[in-house]
Amino acid sequence: MESRHMKNHMAEKRLTATVISVVWERVTMHLTVQISGKDGSKFSDIDRLKFYAVDKSYTPQAMFIREKMSEDKIELSLNVSNTGDCRALAVGGYFIYACLGNEILAKCVTGHELVPQMESVSRCFLHSNRSKGYLVNFFVSDGEEDLPFFMHVLYTKKGGMNPGKDSDILRSAAKSPFTTLKKNGGRIRWRTYYKNERKKYANKKKTVLFMTEQSDKLGGNLVAVKEQMERMGLDKEYEIMTSARPASYIPQSHQSTKELLTKLAKAQTVYIDDHVPMFDWLFLDKKTTVIQLWHAGAGFKSSGYSRWGHLGCPAPVSCHRQYSYGIAGSKQIGIFFAEVFGINEEQILPTGMPRMDEYLDPDYRTKTEKMLYEKYPMCKGKKVILFAPTYRGKSRKDAYYPYERIDFDRLYEFCGEEYVVWFKMHPWVKAPVPIKEEHKDRFLDLGTYPNINDLFYLTEILITDYSSNIFEYSLMRKPMLFFAFDKIQYSFSRGFHRDYEEAAPGKICYEFDGLMVALENKDYEYEKVNEYVDKHFDYIDSNASKRVIEWTLLGKMPEDIKKAIEKRQNEIKYMHSLDFSELEEMNEEEEEENS
């Protein structure tokens, strides 16, 4: 796209744009801007204004999303972890300019009441085990009477915004050779190996890799899509490769890594199901399409860039930046997944979750219900309560659940002859549920049962907390209760990507006593379940796997989605084509006058 020269009309003072407040919503800043015309009059073209963050080299690095609040106020929003081209706002200093077409009308200034708050509304997003930080600071520009609003982004690691570059590693090695090369030398060698293998297989067509670094076997969405490809006969047309390694928590052999890199070099399309640590530093060929088939339907807990600044969050450059697409249950909730991955909302495809194809199959349900009754005869003629919370702790290594929070005796008495309770703890929780011998006729620990979705068929009431298992269970159209005894602590350590009280499709109980009262009174706030389903599912069928294949592999993506993706890409190209260099000429003239 050819360069578009922006004309500087600020001297005409046709517009004043004053930032009067700064509010953060996780990684998104919201600026309230007061707009006025010449001599304080109303500005008539407020709906056509566009606002750009322009760096000191007079290059626009981000365009703000704008929403009109009133006749003279606009809210400007910017996700600093993704400015629209799937990268964090680059390091540097920025002024914000208001533009109309190719005219630069004003530089945003700071409201007097905001000046004392500039430091308090600045943010530091710690990452990499809190050893590094991405800082966004706000200042009033020095030496100017009208208080220009100035934003400065700083990355605390030496070497800039791309800490994984080989050149940065080698530069660091010159200062501390043994430590740096021991840590990063292997990565340089593996990158070189991948690039060489990629050259070898550059012309290889119709190759697909299903891979996970979280387990020694494929599961969930990956298996569902792979098996659907085979049912469609695509295994005869495509070379289908697989790789399953628990590399996220167990060191892998040299040979295993070599084999995986060769498969990646061959693959045109790569399907993954979770974070791939290797992709934090191995940058795949741009012609490789990467599709994230993350298992989470839509829970509450923040992940990825939604929890930037919390322990365990990603670095500015990470695996997530390489995704071509992610998937979700509906277009309406795509925004949550986009924030998690730091990619654009248009790239989140509302295909539905492939692993639910089997779950929604009536024949599979009939067969599974029969199997469960045979395997667990204690539930025959009884109503099943499923207690299935998420884990506490930082990671797989220290995951636990505080069983002392459960009054097992009271829960047992409540069951009587009507209910039994199945406990299905998160797979990372290794400690078994402490069920007393005298409680085993009504309580059962199913922690090792492989597929929680199967259990939902017989479940009458689900008790959970912040888990994404509510996504699948909601389609049973049965009640849920939420035991959120540590909501404040959990929201601080993990964070929520939406309001918990508003989003939970059932009654929230903060004490176990309250949970028992809700059970006794059948007080579930059940009406929230249907509202949840309407919002989270565009399709309720067994065709999600087929949609994933058709949309991401066979070129049959719906036209409206394709056009939305192209529109966003064109907006970014347009922004990068804008030339603000006339501002440099103005600043040079001002400097000459001052000298």
Q: What is the C-alpha to C-alpha distance for residues 243 and 224, in angstroms, rounded to an integer?
A: 15
Task: Please report, rounded to a whole number, the percentage of residues in the chain having pLDDT higher than 90.
Answer: 79
DSSP 8-state symbol, 105: E
Q: pLDDT band for 592, please (50, 70, 90 cuts).
A: very low
Place of tokens 């001297």: 11
Burial class from Cβ neighbours inside 10 Å (0-12, 13-18, 19+) for residue 92 reads: middle
Question: Per-residue pLDDT averaged across 25-43, rounded?
Answer: 94
Kind plus residue range of the DSSP H or E element containing 4? strand 4-5
What values do phi and psi take at 163, rounded to 5?
-65, -10
In which band, very low, low, confident or very high, does the pLDDT at 311 lie, cut at 50, 70 and 90? confident
If you compute the radius of gyration of the chain from its CA atoms, what whole number of angstroms results? 27
pLDDT band for 184, please (50, 70, 90 cuts): confident
pLDDT the model gives residue 393: 84
176 has pLDDT over 60: no
pLDDT digits (tens, 9 = 90+) for 58-91: 999 999 999 999 999 999 999 999 999 999 999 9
pLDDT digits (tens, 9 = 90+) for 97-116: 999 999 999 999 999 999 99
Helix ranges (H only) for 210-361 are 220-231, 254-266, 334-341, 356-359
What residues have CB less than 8 Å from 200, skipping those under 6 apart? 265
Q: Which of 127-141, 241-255, 422-436, 493-507 has the lowest mean pLDDT?
A: 493-507
Residue 10 has pLDDT above 50, yes or no: yes
CA 149 to chain centre: 30
> Which amino acid belongs to residue 170?
L
Nearest CA among 164, 186, 184, 181 for reference residue 284: 164
* pLDDT digit string, tens, across residues 363-383: 999 999 999 999 999 999 999
The whole-angstrom separation of Cα 148 and Cα 145 is: 8
CA-nearest of 554, 544, 550 to 206 is 554
Taking only the tens place, the pLDDT of each residue in 498-553 is: 678 888 999 999 999 999 999 999 999 999 999 999 999 999 999 999 999 999 99
Q: What is the pLDDT of residue 164?
A: 52
Strands 50-55 and 149-155: unpaired
Residue 293 burial (CB count, 10 A)? 26
**Spatial distance between the Cα atoms of 74 and 21, rounded to a whole number of angstroms:** 11
Range with the poorest average pLDDT among 66-75, 91-100, 262-271, 297-306: 297-306
Nearest to residue 579, comparing CAs of 47, 161, 52?
Answer: 52
| Alpha carbon distances (Å) from 390 to 117, 230, 396, 482, 525 | 38, 34, 12, 11, 21
Please tell me the distance from the alpha carbon of residue 454 to that of residue 472, in angstroms, as a whole number. Answer: 10
* Per-residue pLDDT at 593 exceeds 50: no
β-strand pairing of 459-464 with 480-483:
parallel
**What does 483-499 look like in DSSP terms, one character per residue?**
E-TTHHHHHHHT-BSS-
Look over the chain and give the mean of its residue pLDDT values, rounded to a whole number. 90
Model pLDDT, residue 144: 64
- CA–CA separation, 435 and 245 (whole Å): 34
DSSP secondary structure code for residue 115 in this structure: G
pLDDT at 300 (0 to 100):
64
- CA nearest neighbour of 66 among 91, 93, 100: 100
Calpha distance 593→428 (Å, rounded):
67
Asked if 131 and 137 touch (Cβ cutoff 8 Å), the reply is no
Please tell me the predicted confidence (pLDDT) of residue 163. Answer: 47
394-451 per-position pLDDT tens digit = 778 889 999 999 999 999 999 999 999 999 999 999 999 999 999 999 999 999 999 9
**Of the given ranges (69-73, 158-162, 246-250), which has the lowest mean pLDDT?**
158-162
pLDDT band at 591 (very low <50, low <70, confident <90, very high): very low
Rounded to whole angstroms, how far apart are CA atoms 222 and 220? 6
Q: Which pLDDT score is estimated for 141?
A: 75
Closest Cα to residue 131, out of 165, 153, 156, 168?
156
Confidence of residue 174 (pLDDT cuts 50, 70, 90): low
Per-residue pLDDT band at 496 (split at 50, 70, 90): low
Which pLDDT score, from 0 to 100, does residue 310 have? 83
Write the CA distances from 3 to 386, 573, 577, 587, integer angstroms.
Answer: 61, 10, 5, 21
289 touches 268 (CB < 8 A): yes
Question: In whole angstroms, what is the distance from residue 51 CA to residue 108 CA?
Answer: 9
